Structure formats: structure tokens, C-alpha cells
């Protein structure tokens, strides 16, 4: 494990950015596009690991979003590992220690002449950290984009998702119709049997 240590905010979404360079060539089938993911696990040998997908941003960085998660605690040290799978080749170009910490809070109380207490809280955010080509960014809420601002791949994913949901709805409707006709047929057969 590398000696680098990242401090990430507990109970907040965190973003890590990696600059990756892949050199060389291979003849493996399916090795044209790398599959890159980030794994976080406890330091214990028999621990649970969480794997997060990555995305490539406009600046060429590979980014991973680590959402707010009840799994992480402040007292433990975690191991983070960037995994690159290229065909049947597996690489871990960087490994880091990760510590989740609570953001600092500063409280102030103003006491007026009539002994009324007025409190104010302010969080002091942790500044972005860069360690071994990793950048920690505090994730802002994603801005809403119009259809025209989406990439062709994103538009295709949305259309495929909608198509899948419509197909699921059609199948559900067909199953309901099928059950309805079964009930009518069963009822009709039982009425015929009663008349005989």
C-alpha cells in the first residue's frame, strides 16, 4: 500500500480525479477500451469492499464519485485502489490510504443584554487535496442540462432507458390482459358446467 493518505469528508459526496496514461499494445480481443473502476475496502483482511464506476471528464481526467454512505466511519482506515482492466490484463496503477473525517464546525454565540443567546454555525470545508495525481473535489449538485447539451452517447442511454421502461410497461399490461381473459374464460366454463 502506498504511503499517500487522502482525507475525505464524512457524510458528504466526494469526487476523486485521476490522470491515467496507458502505453504499449496488446493483441487481446476486447482490449481496445479499458474498464476503469475504483475500489474502497477496509484495511482488515476479511472486509467488505465497495466498487465505484468511473467517468472521463472534459479535461481528460478519470473521475469517480463517492456518495454519502453510512458504511464509512471516522475511526477506520480504508484502502483505495484504482483498477484498470484491459482485455485479460489487470492493473492497479495507484493505491492510497483513505481516512474519512468530519468537517470542522465553528460555533459562535452572542449573548445580548437580556441574556438571549443567538447561535450561528459555520462549516469550514476541507480544501481540495492533490496526492499522486489524484485530485479531491467537493461535488456540487449537478446542473440540469437540456437535451441539446447532452452527448450523443448520453442521449442514446436515455432513449434506451425510456424504451426499456415502455417495454416493461407493455409486458405488464399484456400480463394483466392475459389474466383478465383467463378469468373470463374460467368464469364462462364454470357457467357452462353449471347449466349442464
What is the tens place of the pLDDT at every residue in 38-65? 999 887 767 788 899 999 877 778 899 9
Residues 177, 103, single domain; the answer is: no
Residues 117, 153, single domain; the answer is: no
Q: How many residues does the chain have?
A: 196
pTM score: 0.51
Residues 117, 82, single domain; the answer is: yes
**C-alpha span between 189 and 196 (Å, rounded):** 11
Residues 132, 179, single domain; the answer is: no
Sheet holding 35-42, edge to edge: 5-9, 89-101, 77-86, 35-42, 49-53
pLDDT greater at residue 121 or residue 169: 169
Q: Looking at the 3D structure of the chain, how many domains does it have? A: 2
Q: Which pLDDT does position 129 carry in this prediction? A: 47
Residues 80, 160, single domain; the answer is: no
Q: Write the CATH number for 120.
A: 2.60.40.10
Percentage, residues of the chain above pLDDT 70: 73
Q: Specify which residues 80 forms β-bridges with.
A: 40, 96
Residues 12, 105, single domain; the answer is: yes
**C-alpha span between 162 and 93 (Å, rounded):** 37
pLDDT band at 11 (very low <50, low <70, confident <90, very high): confident
CB 129 within 8 A of CB 37: no
Strands 55-56 and 62-66, by their bridges, are antiparallel
**C-alpha span between 34 and 30 (Å, rounded):** 9
Decide which of 124, 142, 160 is a domain's last residue.
142
**C-alpha span between 41 and 82 (Å, rounded):** 12
Residues 135, 89, single domain; the answer is: yes
Residues 13, 42, single domain; the answer is: yes
Q: Taking residues 86-108, what's their average pLDDT? A: 83
Angstrom CA distances, 88 to 26, 32, 51, 156, stand at 10, 11, 19, 28
Angstrom CA distances, 49 to 46, 76, 112, stand at 9, 14, 52
Q: Which pLDDT does position 88 carry in this prediction? A: 82
Instruction: Give yes or no for residue 142 having a pLDDT over 90.
Output: no
Q: Show the domain range for 174.
A: 149-195
Q: Specify which residues 86 forms β-bridges with.
A: 89
- The per-residue DSSP string of 65-93 comes to EE---TT--SS-EEEEEEEEEETTEEEEE
Q: What is the dihedral sign for C-alpha 138, 140, 141, 143?
A: negative
Amino acid at each position: 500500500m502506498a504511503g499517500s493518505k487522502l482525507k475525505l469528508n464524512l457524510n458528504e459526496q466526494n469526487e476523486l480525479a485521476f490522470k491515467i496514461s496507458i502505453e504499449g499494445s496488446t493483441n487481446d480481443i476486447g482490449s481496445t477500451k479499458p474498464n476503469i473502476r475504483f475500489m474502497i475496502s477496509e484495511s482488515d483482511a476479511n472486509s467488505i469492499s465497495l466498487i465505484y464506476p468511473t467517468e472521463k471528464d472534459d479535461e481528460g481526467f478519470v473521475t469517480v464519485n463517492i456518495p454519502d454512505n453510512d458504511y464509512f466511519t471516522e475511526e477506520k482506515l480504508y484502502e483505495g485502489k484504482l483498477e484498470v482492466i484491459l482485455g485479460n490484463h489487470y492493473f492497479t496503477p495507484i493505491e492510497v490510504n483513505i481516512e474519512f473525517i468530519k468537517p470542522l464546525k465553528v460555533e459562535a454565540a452572542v449573548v445580548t443584554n437580556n441574556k438571549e443567546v443567538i447561535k450561528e454555525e459555520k462549516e469550514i470545508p476541507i480544501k481540495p487535496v492533490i496526492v499522486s495525481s489524484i485530485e479531491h473535489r467537493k461535488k456540487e449538485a449537478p446542473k440540469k442540462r437540456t437535451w441539446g447539451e447532452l452527448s450523443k452517447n448520453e442521449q442514446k442511454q436515455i432513449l434506451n432507458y425510456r424504451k426499456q421502461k415502455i417495454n416493461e410497461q407493455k409486458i405488464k399490461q399484456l400480463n394483466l390482459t392475459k389474466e383478465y381473459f383467463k378469468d373470463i374464460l374460467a368464469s364462462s366454463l364454470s357457467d357452462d358446467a353449471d347449466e349442464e
